[in-house]
Structure 1
Amino acid sequence: MRTDGRKASELREISIVYERLDRVDGSARFGFGETKSLASVSGPIEVRANLELPSQATLDIHIRPLASISGTDSKALSATLKGILSPALLLSHHPRTLVQIVGQALCGTDSGSGMGSVGRGWSANLIASLVNASSAALISASSVPMRGIVCAVAVGRLPSESALKLVLDPSEAEMPRLSGGGCFAFLFSVVLSSASSSTQEVPPCSLLWTNYTTNTPFDEAELKRARELAEGGAREVWKILKESISTMDASHASTIQKTRAEPEAMEEVPSHAEDSDDAKMEI
């Protein structure tokens, strides 16, 4: 049993909220328990001449820590996320434009979760949260053609006397005890080869990126087990992302309904006020 009572292959509670921030095409907040992040998508929009690409859209990603300004580690993470998300986007459909993604950490601890240069880097579970928040924001925007959906989870390695113990989605309390771990990002798409494991509910997936490391010599069998554990967790994330689309549409419909109702209510007030003034003038 883990410190929070979860099984080794069990994720923390996942939360997805489509924020609908102003001046962006899509935005979403994603969290594994207390590990949360926010992402927004703008584009395709006009791009500066020095960043313009003649054959595809320019993908620009910025990551902001919870505290202080973005440092070298935040910029390195931005480059990593660009490499993770690029295979999922059909950037060639909008050449000479810009697609901009901004990620913001919504948590911060001494372990480095979102503290940027102030802490000790970025934790694997927060990187996974940022990847999933970016995917949710892209779904919310619906303005950038996508080849598939990228889902990510973290896997940690807990010291055990009997045997190696790998756990999915380590919590903040478990992180100081880890002797290894990393983030695994998978691309889910129907265009992938059916040779990869898939079910009727979930499309095939392929591993895009991982930074799994340990403080012991490399063990291929351990990495394989960690990947299998992460793939199962990523499938659960994909299912929850799919289910969240219905809530996004319902929220959007209620927003439109409220916006349309407000002008009608405003129109009734001047009409009533005019009648009152006329009545007073007659008296």
Structure 2
Amino acid sequence: MPRADGRTPHDLRPLRASVGELDRADGSGRFAFGPVAALASFTGPIEVRIREERVDAATLEVVHRPLEGIAGTSSRALVSTLEGVFAPLLALQAFPRALLQLVVQSLAPGYAPHPASLSDGRQVSWPPAEFTEAGAAAPLGASTFAARAAAVNAATLAALHAGSVGMRAVPFAVALAAVDGELLLDPSADEEAAATARFGFAWAFGTGISSAAGGMQLDGEEAEAELVWAEAEGEFSKDEFDAARDFSRAAAAEVLAFAKEELEAFFKR
């Protein structure tokens, strides 16, 4: 059955990605599922405070800036997710006694941040005008699984754009929701609010990272996929969780293919 926005259960919303908007960071990335967007910056390696110094690896500092107000429980949960995804993938051991900083800013439909806070004076318009979901506030605010997935993807783009620290694999995330007994990919905020269960998964794609091939070509080789984030809320069976996980893998590969095209176009300019 078609959804409120006309998509089938297996359809992502229009994807948008860009890199290089922030001048004062080593790398920056913006990613959106439809109107659900996040902007990330990646800086480092830079000098670290002595009390946070590690002699065997770089210190990874993750900061989340919510759309409004101060960081609360949902921000701390997102920071924990980002740390769990990126700490094992970044080559932290190559930069002992240094700091790597990842900052993620949540964005929302109709949001118009002060330009200087995001792009050092350049005008930024996001999401594009063709996104029509802007309107009522999201029932779950910035705590939707789609918003968390967008944050992971924006952070990946920022780290790739920086290119200052190696990654053993490239993570991309998607959200799913079970509504009226049907599993929906990339749910809207209304769908997540009505769901009996919500899921978030991130898969890291690379070569030589796992025994299971992901079916993607990465730099001429078949990319393998490793599950690096799995989170769920609500009531669901093991079979339902397994179905959501398997569904997410193919969807994350679709996001990877899209991001790869966007990055290739950027670096060819």
TM-score band (shorter)?
Answer: 0.7 to 0.9
The residue type equivalent to 2:3 in the other structure is R
Aligned-pair Cα RMSD in Å: 1.6
1:138-163 CA distances to partner (integer Å, 9 max, x unpaired)?
Answer: 0110001110101000010011xxxx
Q: 1:221, CA displacement in angstroms?
A: 0.9
Tell me if structure 1 keeps the 8 A contact 2:144–2:189: no
Is residue 224 from structure 1 mapped to residue 242 from structure 2 by the alignment?
yes
Task: Tell me the percent identity.
Answer: 37
Cross-structure match for 1:69: 70
Tell me if structure 1 keeps the 8 A contact 2:145–2:175: yes
The residue type equivalent to 1:96 in the other structure is R
1:174 partner SS: helix
Cross-structure match for 1:123: 144
Q: 1:189, CA displacement in angstroms?
A: 1.3
Cross-structure match for 1:100: 101
Distance, in Å, in 1 between the alignment partners of 2:83 and 2:238 is 27
Tell me if structure 1 keeps the 8 A contact 2:201–2:248: yes
Cross-structure match for 2:232: 212
The alignment of Structure 1 onto Structure 2 pairs a total of residues equal to 238
Is residue 112 from structure 1 mapped to residue 113 from structure 2 by the alignment?
no
Cross-structure match for 1:175: 192
Distance, in Å, in 2 between the alignment partners of 1:186 and 1:199 is 12
Cross-structure match for 2:123: none
Cross-structure match for 2:177: 156
Equivalent positions of 1:19-58 (< 5 A) are: 19-58=20-59
- Give the unaligned 5+ runs of structure 1: 115-121, 254-283
Distance, in Å, in 1 between the alignment partners of 2:210 and 2:86 is 19
Q: Whose Rg is larger?
A: 1
Distance, in Å, in 2 between the alignment partners of 1:197 and 1:105 is 29
Equivalent positions of 1:130-279 (< 5 A) are: 130-159=151-180, 164-200=181-217, 203-215=223-235, 218-250=236-268, 253=269
Q: 1:103, CA displacement in angstroms?
A: 0.3
Distance, in Å, in 2 between the alignment partners of 1:62 and 1:128 is 16
Cross-structure match for 1:10: 11
Distance, in Å, in 2 between the alignment partners of 1:231 and 1:7 is 18
More helix by share: 1
Inter-CA distance 29–197: structure 2 relative to 1 (3 Å threshold): closer
Inter-CA distance 72–110: structure 2 relative to 1 (3 Å threshold): same
Tell me if structure 1 keeps the 8 A contact 2:212–2:225: no
1:27-69 CA distances to partner (integer Å, 9 max, x unpaired)?
Answer: 0110000000100000010101001100100000001110111
The residue type equivalent to 1:154 in the other structure is A
1:182 partner SS: strand
Q: 1:127, CA displacement in angstroms?
A: 0.2
1:85-143 CA distances to partner (integer Å, 9 max, x unpaired)?
Answer: 112111101111000000001117342332xxxxxxx1100000000000000011000
Tell me if structure 2 keeps the 8 A contact 1:58–1:97: yes
TM-score, normalised relative to structure 2: 0.84
1:158-190 CA distances to partner (integer Å, 9 max, x unpaired)?
Answer: 11xxxx310100013322221111210111110
Inter-CA distance 198–110: structure 2 relative to 1 (3 Å threshold): closer
The residue type equivalent to 1:174 in the other structure is E
Distance, in Å, in 2 between the alignment partners of 1:79 and 1:138 is 17
1:203 partner SS: strand
Tell me if structure 2 keeps the 8 A contact 1:57–1:95: yes
Distance, in Å, in 2 between the alignment partners of 1:72 and 1:181 is 18
Q: 1:199, CA displacement in angstroms?
A: 4.1
Give the number of the structure with larger relative contact order, counting CA–CA contacts within 8 Å between residues 6 or more apart: 2
1:211 partner SS: strand
Q: 1:200, CA displacement in angstroms?
A: 4.0
Q: 1:76, CA displacement in angstroms?
A: 2.9
Q: 1:211, CA displacement in angstroms?
A: 1.2
